[in-house]
Chains A and B, each alone.
Chain A
Amino acid sequence: MTERLRQTVRRLLAEDKVKVVIGYGASKAGTPAPPIFVTRPEDADKLEWNDRCFANLSVYLTRKEVKALGKAAVVVKGCDERALVVLEKESQIDRSALFVIGMACDGVGAPKCAHCQVHVPRFADEVIGTQAEPPAPPNGPNGLDRLMAKSPAERWAFWTAEFSRCVKCYACRQVCPLCYCERCITDKNRPVVIDTSATPKGNFAWHITRAFHLAARCIGCGECTRACPAGIPLGLLNQSLAQATVENFGYRPGMDLAAEPVFGAWSPKDKEDFIG
């Protein structure tokens, strides 16, 4: 598959179909494949495809510096591609000005892969490889089920302990393909909405904001959890909101191009059993 990927990239660049290809580069065994930006056909051999290609490269498409390079091609897995669907829906990318190289993927060994429903990209311009037998989904409770089985006080204690390690590096924000605001609310200081220091209250405010700004948008790529240097399971908050989004609105972000985004619409039938 790596060879076919390189061939495709070489052709795209040689024929000047795209100016830059965002893909995965080589890394030492056991370490994640870093993103690389290939602009010359002869550099296509630097691209790699292996089971350490964790990163969701669609995050770079909304960056000014990358946009300045010209028309891009991006290497995505099926799960990453969901981000492209959401970005397109939110008018952040022009799909016609983008070449999508989809990699059929058997899973990269991340926890999310066990529940993956999109092993093969569905909207890519070119799909490379085929997918082997899909792995059987695991049985038994997952991390979110275990968290929600606790009492509210225990959950509060759990998050207090987890957030106490947060140093506000904002890696969770930087790595997220859907956190694309040029100026994040936490960087705004007139007025200060979120306490910017890594205090308990500032950390709660930040993580509440981060999770909720992704509500009904998060595609569950799990990059936030992977990027967190403190090992905080941030993805649990997003998973919980994703679950609520399915339960209440039957909506899975990035799955259906035609579906109306949850927060762009409303229905008179939305439940209101909690409103007095």
Chain B
Amino acid sequence: MSFEPKIIAYVCNWCTYLGADLAGTNRLEYPPNVRILRLPCTGRIDFNLIVKAFEMGADAVLVSGCHPGDCHYTAGNYHARRRWILFRRLLETLGVETERVHFTWISAAEGKKFQQVIGEITEKTRAMGPYAAYQVLSGVSK
């Protein structure tokens, strides 16, 4: 059986989720490998959620929200961006495969961009193969 990547997308309620919705209403096709989880704001997306996704067998994680300046709560995405800058360094220090952790800004009008991003991440992850290192660690490898 060929490998189908599992991708977890944590998206904000106000921009990327609506972007995904727009992709749907426009009948834009994107790979079904992505599981979308909606949160109020990227500022709410706890780093533990990213860890949890990998623990449960995700091959890649996407975190996406409003473009800078567009946040529904004014500054949630700015706070998130700051957190990710340091969190990425921690993942690098631990040797986590950071090319499996993606961050994007996708607005409510960018259904097309949502389609492209999901397509690209899926293809990239497919080429990389399953995240064996973390799956072995978590005991979820097949």
- Chain A residues with CB under 8 Å of chain B are 147-148, 150-160, 185, 193-195, 199-201, 204-205, 208-209, 211-212, 215-216, 236-237, 240-241, 243-245, 248-249, 262-263, 266-268, 270-272, 274-276
Contacts and interface: CB of A to CB of B under 8 A. Distances in A.
Contact of A271 (B52, B85, B90, B98): B85
Nearest to A158: B95
Contacts of B95: 150-159
Given A152-B95, A201-B139, 4 more contacts: A211-B90, A270-B82, A274-B103, A276-B102
Contacts of A216: 86
B94 A156 contact: yes
Contacts of B94: 155-156, 159, 204, 208, 237
Contacts of B81: 266, 270, 272, 275
Nearest to A213: B47
Interface in B5-36: none
Contacts of B52: 193, 205
Interface string B63-107: 000001100000100110111111111101111111000111100
Contacts of A244: 85-86, 89
Contact of A266 (B78, B92, B97, B133): B78
B96 A241 contact: no
B84 to A, nearest CB: 7
Contact of B92 (A152, A248, A267): A152
Contacts, number: 117
A164 B18 CA distance: 43
Given A159-B95, A208-B51, A266-B79, A215 B137 contact: no
Contact of B75 (A195, A208, A266): A266
A200 B93 contact: no
Interface centre among A147, A158, A208, A262 (most CB of B within 10 A): A208
B86 A248 contact: yes
B96 A156 contact: yes
A245 B94 CA distance: 17
B86 A212 contact: yes
Given A263-B83, A266-B75, A240 B102 contact: no
15 contacts: A148-B93, A156-B95, A193-B52, A200-B137, A205-B51, A209-B47, A244-B85, A244-B89, A245-B86, A262-B86, A268-B68, A270-B81, A274-B84, A274-B85, A275-B103
A152 B82 CA distance: 23
Contacts of B117: 276
